[in-house]
């Protein structure tokens, strides 16, 4: 199969599905408070674009700050877990258990503690994003060929240089895989936090339009959440291209 | 520099692997260690490189005992272990990078790229290179270590027969230029004969140097190598004989 047709197929499938949806809604005259037609969703998106943009910026800011905090904490804890087997043995199972608590349960508790500002939303993002990042980073470092470490040691390198020159660069592709997963979760995390209690953000907008049964606007905000999540994912992919050029290498040197 | 391994003892588990292993390597000499699989050939190099610590005995360089990692040795493992995220030039200058002399190392490396058959590949990624070229890059990285003694652990073991032969030819032509003491571990009898001044056969459990062969001084060519049937035969018997014992 050619590359272009491979990429075009899912797009065609979605377009076909949307066309079917549009046709059914129109033929069966489904009221918009039950199921809005795709064109109605698009028009709601366009009409409310200013509000959606403004709320999106709040959500994206929370997601980005949450991702940043997650990354810093994950790098620190990942290093600690690699340096000390004991820390790893204690922390790893706890990390796994924390991931089994549904975020929608935790969010209201966070709001009780942290109030109605941005803090509980950011913390929700952190709680969702931290895990995939730290696990991928720690596992990436653990999987290194010990030959690399021995090489640095026999060349007279320090323990610090083992990390800066080998272990961390070696774990970078794994770290980026974790970051991509986390980036996709980050918007959902912020929306969950906003859904529980807030004055701004896509989650807040979603809750408001839900309460007024404006289903076209609800679908429009879902579309925005999808686009923002893809955008976050794309941002990480772009960052990976910049940080790990050898994975996207062009052949250099003589043939 | 002269290397002396004196009465080394070492064990991985209950049963000792070495119980008084001793041998010498003269300054500028190229010595190979041959032996059956699992007899402890690579362990000897790991002990010298400081990756493993002996239970007893001593290792001396020019009469001075060494402990742990020593700057006298440059260790080259079987796997090229080039960093995929670094260019070839950055890779071969690893020693300089670790000791804050990267600039000087790069200048020296650039001069040697041609000699190592890597000219034009300074800024290439390791994945752009063939197996033989990667191994030559690893060799250049080892040569740039400022160490007097090179420890080569089956450096061509992972290559196909043709590349392996090319690399051996290349190393013979390089020996003069390197001008350093080399200790090579290999299981390839022809490779040992082709490259060495002297061959040690290691075997038994606990392992010891069971026999030693001096290779005649001669211009090393493939034809010369093919004429060394008798030596080849004796080495083969020596290794096989040891293999019959539990090793």
Q: Which H or E run includes A78?
A: helix A49-83
Residue B163 or B98, more confident: B98
Which domains are assigned to chain B? 1-69+180-247 (3.40.50.300)
pLDDT in tens, B50-101: 888 999 888 988 888 888 788 888 888 888 899 999 999 999 999 999 998 8
Tell whether B37 lies on the interface with A, counting CB pairs under 8 A: no
ipTM of the complex, rounded to two decimals: 0.82
Contacts of A152 in chain B (CB under 8 A): 94, 98
Find chain B residues with C-beta within 8 A of A252's C-beta: 87, 121, 123-125, 128
Q: Which of B53, B72, B83, B147 to mutate to test the interface with A (most CBs of A within 10 A)?
A: B83
pLDDT digits (tens, 9 = 90+) for B166-190: 888 888 887 777 778 899 999 888 8
pTM of the model: 0.80
Closest approach of B121 to chain A, Cα-based (Å): 5
Inter-chain CB proximity B94 and A145 less than 8 Å: no
Burial call A121-152: b when 16+ CB within 10 Å, e when fewer: bbbbbbbbbbbbbbbbbbbbbeebeeebbbbb
- Judge: A153–B85 Cβ closer than 8 Å, yes or no: no
Helices (H) then strands (E): counts for chain B: 9, 10
Closest of A13, A35, A10 to residue A24, by C-alpha: A35
> B97 — contact with chain A (CB < 8 Å)?
yes
**pLDDT single digits (tens) A121-146:** 999 999 999 999 999 999 999 999 99
The distance of A166 to chain B (nearest Cα, Å) reads 8
pLDDT at A117 over 90: no
* CA–CA gap between residue A75 and residue A68 (Å, rounded): 11
**Is the pLDDT assigned to residue A60 strictly greater than 90?**
yes
CA distance A93 to A72: 20
pLDDT in the model for residue B243: 47
């Amino acid at each position: 199969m050619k590359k272009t047709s491979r990429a075009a197929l899912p797009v065609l499938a979605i377009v076909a599905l949307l066309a079917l949806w549009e046709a059914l809604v129109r033929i069966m005259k489904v009221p918009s408070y039950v199921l809005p037609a795709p064109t109605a969703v698009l028009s709601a998106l366009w009409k409310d674009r200013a509000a959606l943009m403004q709320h999106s910026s709040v959500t994206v800011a929370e997601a980005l700050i949450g991702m940043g905090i997650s990354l810093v904490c994950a790098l620190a804890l990942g290093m600690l877990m690699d340096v000390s087997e004991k820390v790893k043995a204690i922390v790893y199972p706890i990390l796994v258990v924390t991931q089994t608590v549904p975020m929608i349960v935790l969010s209201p508790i966070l709001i009780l503690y942290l109030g109605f500002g941005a803090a509980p939303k950011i913390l929700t993002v952190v709680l969702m994003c931290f895990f995939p990042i730290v696990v991928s980073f720690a596992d990436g470092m653990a999987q290194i060929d010990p030959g690399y470490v021995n090489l640095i040691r026999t060349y007279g390198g320090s323990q610090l240089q083992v990390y800066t020159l080998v272990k961390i660069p070696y774990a970078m592709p794994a770290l980026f895989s974790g970051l991509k997963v986390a980036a996709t979760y980050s918007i959902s995390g912020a929306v969950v936090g906003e859904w529980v209690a807030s004055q701004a953000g896509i989650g807040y907008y979603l809750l408001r339009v839900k309460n007024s049964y404006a289903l076209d606007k609800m679908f429009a905000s879902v579309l925005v959440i999808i686009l923002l999540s893809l955008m976050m994912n794309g941002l990480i992919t772009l960052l990976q291209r910049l940080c790990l050029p050898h994975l996207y290498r062009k052949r250099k040197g003589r043939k | 520099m002269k290397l002396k391994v004196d009465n080394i003892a070492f064990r991985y588990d209950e049963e000792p692997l070495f119980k008084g292993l001793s041998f010498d390597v003269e300054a500028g000499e190229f010595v190979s260690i041959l032996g059956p699989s699992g007899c402890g050939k690579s362990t000897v190099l790991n002990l010298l490189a400081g990756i493993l610590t002996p239970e007893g005995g001593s290792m001396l360089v020019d009469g001075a005992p060494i402990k742990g990692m020593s700057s006298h040795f440059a260790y080259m493992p079987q796997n090229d272990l080039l960093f995929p995220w670094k260019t070839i030039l950055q890779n071969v200058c690893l020693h300089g990078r670790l000791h804050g002399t990267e600039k000087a190392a790069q200048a020296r490396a650039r001069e040697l790229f041609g000699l190592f058959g890597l000219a034009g590949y300074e800024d290439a990624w390791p994945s752009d290179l063939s197996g033989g070229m990667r191994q030559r890059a690893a060799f250049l990285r080892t040569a740039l270590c400022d160490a007097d003694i090179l420890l080569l652990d089956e450096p061509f073991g992972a290559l196909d027969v043709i590349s392996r032969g090319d690399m051996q030819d290349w190393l013979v032509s390089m020996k003069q230029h390197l001008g350093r003491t080399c200790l090579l571990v290999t299981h390839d009898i022809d490779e040992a004969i082709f490259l060495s001044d002297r061959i040690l056969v290691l075997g038994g459990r606990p392992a010891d140097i069971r026999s030693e062969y001096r290779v005649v001084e001669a211009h090393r060519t493939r034809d010369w190598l093919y004429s060394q049937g008798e030596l080849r035969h004796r080495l083969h018997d020596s290794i096989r004989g040891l293999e019959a014992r539990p090793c």
